[in-house]
Structure 1
Amino acid sequence: MTKTAALRFAWHFGEMLVAMILGMVLLGPVWDALTSWLGLAALFARTDVAVMVMAADMTVAMTIWMRYRGHSWAPVAEMGAAMFVPFLLLLPPHWLGALSGEVVMIAGHVLMLPAMLAAMLWRRDEYTRGHKDHASPPAVGRPR
């Protein structure tokens, strides 16, 4: 991989991390307010529900950003899977009492990083090119 390709790869990874964080920061309070208003705060405080909602928040923001940047649906879906799979692997041991909610939350987020890298390496060409070189048509609202 050339230095330029490696930098583009790292840039793509960084952009997705920022999108994930924005998804949690912007959508988390919406869920908190909505579930409090609906009287569902206790349900959403459960570890299993909380981590799945958080994974969804990250996936929504990442999907919006990736589509804006011209990625096709396949890599978007793969990156979305990278948000959910770590939690799906950790929840059965949690339900059996082998992992605390705190461990599930932390480990799930840590495991997302190699899951994202694996998805990116699977489509290395997608992530080592500039955004303008992606094969999909521009997403709605994307500057041409």
Structure 2
Amino acid sequence: MTTTTTAARTGRNWGRFALHYVEMIIAMFAGMLLIGMLRSAAGLGLSHAEQPELWYLAMALDMSIGMAAWMRVRGHRWAPTLEMCAIMFAPAVPLFPLLWAGAIDGGVLMLVAHVGMFPLMLAAMLRRLDEYAGCRH
């Protein structure tokens, strides 16, 4: 059975799946950049060195806003949209106690959280494969 036949039978398009993944990453970084710049311009910037957990939470919120906006434009339902938003927070929040105990610093928090985000996003997308690779959009 060829790949084309399998894709036609299941209604899944792996190119569409990959495109969704890339689009969400771009939207996530666009939200982080644009909203972060607006916050700084308004004098509401946070210091990564002095308040790494608050800085991360604000950045995760910015990424979530960008990603959620794009997912809604693409026609995604609220459940997968909010799931992706939660993933922006999920890798870092469990690390906060280690940060507060002095076992890690803000740089390690950022590195682990950012590295963890991408496979978690991919796992969520695979969990809802028809949402991202289906012919709905």
TM-score by length of 1: 0.81
Within the alignment, does 1:15 sit opposite 2:12 as a pair? no
> Which of the numbers 109, 112, 124 marks the counterpart of 2:117?
112
> Which of the numbers 29, 35, 50 marks the counterpart of 2:43?
35
* Partner Cα separation in structure 1 for residue 101 and residue 39 of structure 2: 27
Q: Which runs of 4+ in 1 moved over 2 A?
A: 1-4, 33-36, 40-45
> Which of the numbers 40, 53, 56 marks the counterpart of 1:51?
56
Across the two proteins, how many residue pairs are aligned to each other?
Answer: 129
% identical equivalent positions: 43
Amino acid at match of 2:108: V
Question: Displacement of 1:106 after TM fit?
Answer: 1.5
1:44–1:28 CA distance, 2 compared to 1 (3 A): farther
Question: Displacement of 1:35 after TM fit?
Answer: 3.1
1:44–1:129 CA distance, 2 compared to 1 (3 A): farther
* Partner Cα separation in structure 2 for residue 42 and residue 8 of structure 1: 38
* Partner Cα separation in structure 2 for residue 43 and residue 10 of structure 1: 32
* Partner Cα separation in structure 2 for residue 61 and residue 108 of structure 1: 18
Amino acid at match of 2:31: G
3-state secondary structure, aligned to 1:119: helix
Within the alignment, does 1:101 sit opposite 2:106 as a pair? yes
Q: Decide which moves more: 25-34 or 12-21.
A: 25-34
Tell me if structure 2 keeps the 8 A contact 1:35–1:41: no
Within the alignment, does 1:62 sit opposite 2:61 as a pair? no
1:5–1:49 CA distance, 2 compared to 1 (3 A): same
3-state secondary structure, aligned to 1:35: coil
Unaligned runs of 5+ in 1: 135-144
Unaligned runs of 5+ in 2: 1-5
Tell me if structure 2 keeps the 8 A contact 1:28–1:54: yes
* Partner Cα separation in structure 1 for residue 17 and residue 113 of structure 2: 23
